[in-house]
A and B are shown apart, each in its own frame.
Chain A
């Protein structure tokens, strides 16, 4: 029996990726662990804080593209995969585990999790019984939903996988994870950043599927491949462009280590854990800002130490406020992470004074001035 899942705690992948972006920031850690959106915190700090968000048109296109792929029994998606000879059978099957909220038939995520687990068990049962190859499932599953069964930080970690394929290798089912994105496939020039995000996402899904199979005791009967596939678009059209054989070995390892580290980091915040946290299961709050506990947690994030860095500009809505703070504190990170490292503990204000002719008072300051000198200028007089 799957325990009901709190809606506000479900977006595990987003929270995990948020934490990975800046693991040195305690505020980021608290925000990720307790699912306190940084946007909410940013607007408490500064009501004018910019709202990060996705384009409404991009969201609509994403929905349309995905819906187009899975309609009519996933005909378009299957056809795109068949062009790469993914399946041996000429007539691959299609299962749709989408919830009603996403245009599917299942009532909610809990139902999707149950269906996915039942599907995995059934797949494993086909192995020892030597099911007639014609009767065993080979094809695509849309929106397979898994819950990471262990975890200190996120007992209810839920992941919805855009698509998985099931093929058979040596009479064992092999599951490959797929990710659907609307950005265009421009061959070797496809945005490296976008591809990295998609691959990291798939690595996390592979890790989650491996954990689920282990928990269900079927990991020796089902192989979760460390090669996935991407479904992108051809530029300027809605025609899917599939990239198979995406190497995910290191992304899986990243996810595994990341979750371990996140759990360890989360364990350093004991005062925020307790009965309250576990008791939230099933609590499907809509407007969290009116929740007293939530407001308390926002306050905790606000008071937690921050560590501003270059990466904050790309994902955190508090980046502006943290930049201001870093500027006031003379943190070299405002000029880039390399400057913070170069200053080696020296404040930017002091570095400024030293560059202006102030006498150095310590070996660290003398070292700074030495390193600031151009190697050519040092001997330039001889030229």
Chain B
């Protein structure tokens, strides 16, 4: 793959700014990446984005880092993933290094607490927005088995607290079985 310095820089800049805003950890990076890489840059399509989250989720390590490794690899190969991991790690690294020095002050300032409290509501809205889009997409394909699979996975996770790896494996196997069955009946 031919390295494109402009694209590499774009990759670094976008992973850096996305990472700087993943408060609350985990899935918050998904809507941000979706907006940036799917809708704005159109580097990947929305199905690739979901596959990418599934891979990131079922591998060891943080979702944000794993997802950026895959994006980087997709865009510019191994060098791309080095660049995007660097971009993702740098904001928390810098912030924590500074906070470690002035922790007592940081935890006391009320304005910081209030802003973070407000941002939490914004984060929830961002998550709802992306879930709405993803769910709508699955529903609009009109295949009842996958809609049921989605609902089942949701309830197993929320109500019964089933481990997410178990859910991911079960859904992957279900997909395989459904598609195979369909292939046979055709």
Partners in one complex: no
Residues of A within 8 A of B (CB): none
